[in-house]
């Protein structure tokens, strides 16, 4: 039930955002994330943006995974 | 992660599983408390990747599964009223109450509508001013703010024919109640990422302080989950219980203050019953007195049949992680996803449903 999907805000009018979710456009409420701006990647749950994606943190996680794969023991 | 090639993902997963295998020195029981994690773990086959000594068990992390029959029976009683439109998330439709389900009532003519967002209920209320529109407000801290925002919007619009039947529940008090029970053994928690996106990190601090149990807030990609298991194993190896955040790209330490503030404005904590765990103090949310005009129970009295549980169903113990679904005498026999008896089988996020769907051929009756 706590499933949420990421999307990019392409337009913001007051507390209503137009969000691009994998090519599909939807209207999403910003009542729970009023500081979100056009261009932000946000997490959407039940028609509301609930959190912003921290791109620097996402990059760190990705870089860590890329780094670790170099140390993986390959199956013979 | 989409930005890694399949080969990179395979090798990163290989790193984690190898490290976990090397570091595990005793049998470990790690509990996830989020239905979305339950499904992700099964879907990615993570149980099969981990060494035999690491057991992943599901806790009370599926809101539909922990909703007691009394709530369903109340919703069903409302649906039978001629002037009522029920709005609900799709998950609730097939959940069996004591003697019926919303799907059965809908087939019999009740006006029950599935909504993607609770805000859609307000449009329906405007379109049908002569009907009472009741939204079934179920879910944890991720979902509760969306209901709170909807109630606030209805209050501002002075919408008099909208109300919520609230059964929102809070995760930290349930974890506390679980750990207070004798005989429950959990070596570490995978904490729910999207609940944490709202409440932040601090509400879980008691796990470390009061119980000395390692905990990691985890994301939902297979590599997120593997990394979180690795982090738990590292903590157990070091003998130092910490509260760590693997999902920092979505979960800031403070969570979402605006959502928490709105939740606080509209709702207040209350004792509530969880299926399988019973009454847990301050683990539910009820509307504050100032919003009682939007509380279905106080606004629209209804006669509800006495609640009864299905015979033989062991959802309660499954929700505590104390038995596996295969230990239930109904599992795979009279209780299947097509003909569910208990709530753990009816919800797509239920432990029994996940075992049945993804464990086909690997579990034995």
pLDDT tens-digit profile of B258-272? 999 999 999 999 999
Of B103-117, B229-243, B247-261, B311-325, where does mean pLDDT reach its minimum? B311-325
Give me the residues of B, 98-117, that contact A with CB < 8 A. 116-117
Q: Which residues of A touch B36 (CB under 8 A)?
A: 1-3
- Residue B38, C-beta contacts closer than 8 angstroms, at least 6 positions apart: B32, B58, B61, B62, B349, B350, B351, B354
Give me the residues of A, 21-40, that contact B with CB < 8 A. 29, 31-35
Q: Which residues of B touch A70 (CB under 8 A)?
A: 11
Backbone angles phi, psi at A6, to 5 degrees: -85, 150
pLDDT tens-digit profile of B145-167? 999 999 999 999 999 999 999 99
Nearest-by-CA chain A residue for B5: A66
Is a pLDDT exceeding 90 seen at residue B309? Answer: no
- The rounded distance, in Å, linking the Cα atoms of A26 and A18 is 6
- The rounded distance, in Å, linking the Cα atoms of B258 and B263 is 9
User: In the prediction, which pLDDT does B1 show?
Assistant: 45
Measure CB to CB from residue A69 to each of B12, B120, B227 and give the nearest one. Answer: B12
Is a pLDDT exceeding 60 seen at residue B177? Answer: yes
**pTM value?**
0.94
- Residue B273, C-beta contacts closer than 8 angstroms, at least 6 positions apart: B68, B70, B279, B280
Nearest alpha-carbon partner for B31 in B175, B146, B134, B234:
B175
Q: pLDDT tens digits for chain A (76 residues)?
A: 778 899 999 999 999 999 999 899 999 999 999 999 999 999 999 999 999 999 999 999 999 998 888 887 654 3
pLDDT, chain B, mean? 93
């Amino acid at each position: 039930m706590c499933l949420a999907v990421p999307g990019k805000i392409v337009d913001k009018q007051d507390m209503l955002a137009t969000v691009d979710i994998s090519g599909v456009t939807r209207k999403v409420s910003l009542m729970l994330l009023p500081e979100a701006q056009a261009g932000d990647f946000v997490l959407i749950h039940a028609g509301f943006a609930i959190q912003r994606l921290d791109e620097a943190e996402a990059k760190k996680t990705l870089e860590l995974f890329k780094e670790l794969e170099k140390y993986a023991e390959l199956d013979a | 992660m989409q930005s890694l090639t399949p080969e990179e993902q395979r090798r990163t997963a290989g790193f984690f599983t190898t490290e976990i295998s090397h570091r595990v020195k005793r049998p470990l029981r790690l509990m996830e408390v989020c239905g979305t994690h339950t499904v992700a773990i099964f879907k990615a086959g993570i149980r099969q990747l981990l060494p035999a000594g690491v057991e992943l068990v599901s806790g009370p992390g599926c809101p539909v599964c922990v909703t007691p029959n009394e709530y369903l029976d109340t919703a069903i009683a409302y649906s039978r009223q001629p002037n009522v439109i029920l709005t609900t998330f799709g998950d609730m439709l097939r959940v069996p109450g004591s003697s019926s389900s919303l799907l059965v009532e809908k087939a019999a003519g009740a006006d029950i509508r599935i909504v993607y967002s609770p805000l859609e209920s307000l449009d329906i209320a405007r379109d049908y001013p002569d009907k009472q529109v009741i939204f079934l407000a179920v879910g944890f801290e991720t979902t509760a703010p969306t209901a709170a925002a909807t109630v606030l919007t209805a209050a501002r619009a002075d919408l008099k024919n909208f109300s919520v039947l609230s059964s929102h529940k809070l995760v930290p008090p349930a974890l506390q109640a679980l750990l207070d029970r004798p005989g429950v053994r959990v070596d570490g928690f995978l904490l729910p990422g999207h609940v944490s996106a709202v409440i932040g990190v601090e509400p879980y601090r008691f796990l470390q302080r009061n119980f000395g149990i390692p905990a990691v807030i985890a994301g939902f990609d297979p590599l997120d989950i593997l990394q979180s298991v690795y982090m738990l194993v590292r903590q157990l190896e070091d003998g130092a219980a910490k509260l760590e955040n693997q999902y920092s790209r979505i979960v800031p330490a403070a969570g979402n203050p605006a959502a928490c503030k709105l939740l606080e404005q509209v709702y207040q904590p209350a004792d509530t019953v969880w299926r399988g765990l019973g009454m847990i103090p301050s683990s539910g949310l009820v509307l504050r007195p100032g919003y009682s005009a939007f509380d279905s129970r106080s606004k629209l009295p209804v006669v509800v049949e006495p609640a009864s549980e299905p015979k033989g169903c062991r959802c309660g113990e499954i929700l505590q992680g104390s038995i596996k679904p295969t230990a239930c005498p109904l599992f795979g026999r009279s209780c299947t996803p097509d003909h569910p008896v208990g709530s753990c089988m009816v919800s797509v996020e239920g432990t029994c449903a996940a075992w049945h769907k993804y464990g086909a051929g690997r579990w034995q009756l």
